[in-house]
């Protein structure tokens, strides 16, 4: 059994002329003991797409916490199984 951790990351940059660097960046990192690359890459992309540009900086921590609560009740993954998983007000099919 592997005792390591797996990390999945997504980044989003946008122009921000008020920032000395000329852009602002948000990052999302998912850490798991499960080597489910496809699932976590799709999850990262989904969360970034649905939250980074639409959720305010003030509401972002609460939104991420709610997403974590939803993920915590997902079933354990089974190889070659297809799942429809609730995430935010959507369903993600993996």
The answer to whether residue 24 sits within a structural domain is yes
The answer to whether residue 41 sits within a structural domain is yes
pLDDT of residue 18: 92
pLDDT of residue 78: 86
Separation between Cα atoms, residue 92 and residue 34, nearest integer Å = 18
- pLDDT over 70 (residue 88): yes
DSSP character at residue 65 = H
The string of pLDDT tens digits covering residues 18-68 is 989 998 888 889 998 888 888 888 888 888 888 887 888 889 889 999 999
Higher-confidence residue of 10 and 2: namely 10
Domain housing 81:
6-93
Domain count for the chain:
1
- pLDDT over 80 (residue 81): yes
pTM of the model: 0.74
DSSP letter string over 18-86? TSTTSEEEEEEEEEESS--HHHHHHHHHHHIIIIITTS-TTTHHHHHHHHHHHHHTSPPP-TT---EEE
The answer to whether residue 1 sits within a structural domain is no
């Amino acid at each position: 059994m592997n005792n390591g951790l797996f990390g999945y990351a997504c980044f989003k940059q946008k122009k921000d002329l008020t920032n000395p660097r000329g852009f602002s960046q948000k990052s999302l990192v998912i850490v798991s003991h499960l080597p489910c690359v496809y699932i976590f890459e799709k999850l990262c992309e989904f969360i970034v797409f649905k939250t980074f540009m639409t959720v305010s900086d003030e509401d972002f921590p609460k939104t991420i916490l709610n997403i974590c609560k939803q993920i915590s009740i997902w079933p354990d993954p089974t190889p070659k199984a297809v799942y429809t998983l609730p995430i935010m007000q959507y369903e993600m099919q993996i």
